[in-house]
Homo-oligomer: A and B are copies of this chain.
Amino acid sequence: MTVPQGPGPAAHRHSIATVALGGTLGEKLAAAAAAGFDGIELFEPDLIAAPLKPQEVRRRLEELGLTLELYQPMRDIEAVRPEQFRRSLRRVRSKLDLMLQLGAPILLVCSNVSGDALEDDDLAAEQLAAVADEAEARGLKVAYEALAWGTQVNDYSRAWSIVERAGHPALGVCLDSFHILARGSSLDEIAVIPPDKLFMLQLADAPRVRMDELQWSRHLRCFPGQGGFDLASFTGRVLDAGYSGPLSLEIFNDVFRQADPFRTAVDGRRSLLWLEEGISRLEAEAPDSTPARTPARRATSPAMRSPDLRGFAFAELYTPATAARHLELLLTGLGFERTGLHRTKPVSLWEAGGARIVVNGAHRAAVPPAQLTLTAIGLEVGDVGFLARRAEALGIPRVPKHHNWDEADLPSIAAPDGTEILLCRPGGHDGYWLSDFDPSVSRPLFQPKTRLTGIDHVALGQPLNAFHEAALFYRSLLWLEPLQTQELTSPHGLIRSQAFVRDLTAGEAVRLVLNVPALGDSVRPGSDPSQHLAIHSSDIVASARAMTAQGLGILPIPGNYYDDLMVRFDLDMASLETCRRYSILYDEDAAGHAFRHFYIASPQSRVLFEIVERGPGYEGYGAGNAVTRMNAQEHG
């Protein structure tokens, strides 16, 4: 996997806590280095369980070119009775001596979460100062952090007031985005903290859910860009306050814990590059408010330009030879006609209105899929070279492709689930991808009028381990924006569904939906086809009529659905009966914008074709109909 190498000069070091990665300590360190991190935070249980002696860890870090930024965590130290503090101090001394062997400059102290923590900030300050004395005597420092569930101290401004009260040169604060943003604390107090007291900045995103902060923090943290927090604003505030230490990822996530640490680390590094870009974008949007300070590292040109998406160019389907004829009939029934054959490859082009599908008889895998599979999404982009370089800078792997000298070069990058994203120049440019196709093919005598106009969206089933990575991939590379997550109950289990959208001019948009089984791989096999290709129609009833006339089977929707529809929405009887007749599903948002869609019955296929008519203003995907549709697929 390519290591992201940003073009600008180093300003903020990039760091990751060992707890964020799966594997053994040795694997974690190797993964952090391979992904291009400058440093790490060492999580105590990782050290205790490691066969490496402290001096060996230090040597390993040096060999890998990693700085040890911080040793963590020391718990339940402050605001306790004197006899308990004396025992704690013994532990502190031992860990500080250990830090000298490791070469760790800062000890992280978390605010006391035990039931017997005293409500006495003077005592807390005094005891933290005593800990800082011990650290200072060894040339080390102590960073105090407010946990969101601290018994007395659960807010960063209270932590700072205690540190200020202690007035000890070796004592400062650690700010952690999770604890601050999860509680919705005001960010205004950050500017009050002097730069030389901002010892550490820990970054984590998280989905916006309502749950106990401890559980939320321990299981659902994720990398910046993978959750719902505004980390660019937060981090900008901390940098504005003069913080000059590392940007350090401290993530507790159940999926990351079981994932390949090398892959997770690359993903984490990408999240920091994306975050720095976001900070720069904020600055660019509000130049007046930007004080002089160290720039975020890679806030340089390639990052600051929009990817300039123009829309879907095509969807590429791989078909095994045995299914090729079936696909031709299906596409013809949908109203597609074969408009070109690739000049050198076993590839044909099919078009219907503005919708284009490329059918490929070859596959790059040694063992190609046995079923029809959506293998690639072609996107039209204004500057292909720029976006390819941007992918490289974000550590996104390029798929090697052969093309002849006189053929279009479509740079291909691999999404986390293996789907290829092909970058296509828009029409009128040199190297236009359509020029590779020979239009002299025989066309059918009769072309059904199915009123298709273009690709509406593509939905891709994701393995659990790839979802977070995929979310950040599409967000960072293509500036797609995440919408609210939906939970869909399939007969085989719960599916989480999240749409990513980039609105384009003229009402068009690039829309992508990622579906992930809530409990990983355990969904019964043979369940929901994991890929949907949704094509837009200008008149869905006409589409349904024409496709039915062509002999295509529309996925039958039960009558109960329409009986319920009648009482849910104010549909006139005629519309309702038309929907019922053609198994068209209906949805409507709160503002009354409508969405109509139907599916082509395709048992045994991995790709489900969907025809949609998206009323102006409707931004969803008919999630309320998913249960009915998924059950209908079961019934065949």
Interface residues of A (CB under 8 A from B): 22-25, 27, 44-45, 47-54, 90-91, 94-95, 98, 209-212, 214-215, 219, 254-255, 257-258, 464-465, 489, 491-494, 517-524, 556, 558-561, 563-564, 566-568, 627-628, 630-632, 634-635
Copy count, this protein chain: 2
Q: Which of these, B53, B519, B560, B561, contacts A519 with CB under 8 Å? A: B519
Pick the most buried of A48, A257, A567, A631: most chain B CB atoms within 10 A of its CB: A48
Residue of chain B at shortest CB distance from A19: B489
Q: Give the 9 A-B CB pairs with smallest separation, nearest first.
A: A258-B493, A49-B631, A210-B212, A520-B522, A520-B520, A49-B628, A211-B211, A94-B567, A51-B558
Is B559 a contact partner of A53 (Cβ separation < 8 A)? yes
CB of B22 within 8 A of CB of A493, answer: yes
Chain A contact residues: helix, strand, loop or mixed: helix
Contact B51 A522 (CB under 8 A): no
Are B492 and A22 in contact (CB-based, < 8 A)?
Answer: yes
Most buried by B among A47, A522, A523: A522
A274 to B518, CA, bound (A): 30
A91 CA / B44 CA spacing, docked (Å):
59
Tell me, in angstroms, the Cα distance from A90 to B567 when the chains sit together.
7
* Min distance, Cβ A309 to any Cβ of chain B, angstroms: 33
Chain B residues in 8 Å Cβ range of A24: 491, 631, 634-635
Q: Is the CB of A563 within 8 A of B521?
A: no
Contacts of A560 in B (CB 8 A): 47-50, 52-54
Residue of B nearest to A149 (CB): B210
Q: 10 extra interchain contacts, Cβ-Cβ under 8 A, other than A27-B491, A209-B212?
A: A23-B491, A24-B635, A25-B631, A49-B630, A53-B559, A254-B493, A254-B494, A258-B524, A464-B522, A520-B521
A32 CB → nearest B CB, Å: 15
Residue of B nearest to A465 (CB): B522
Cα distance A53–B91 in the bound complex, in angstroms: 70
A570 CB, min distance to chain B CBs, angstroms:
9
- A628 with B48: CB separation less than 8 A: yes
- Cα–Cα, bound, A517→B255 (Å): 11
A538 to chain B, nearest CB (A): 29
Inter-chain CA distance A567–B89, complex, in Å, is 10
Alpha-carbon separation in the docked complex, A492 to B23 (Å) = 6
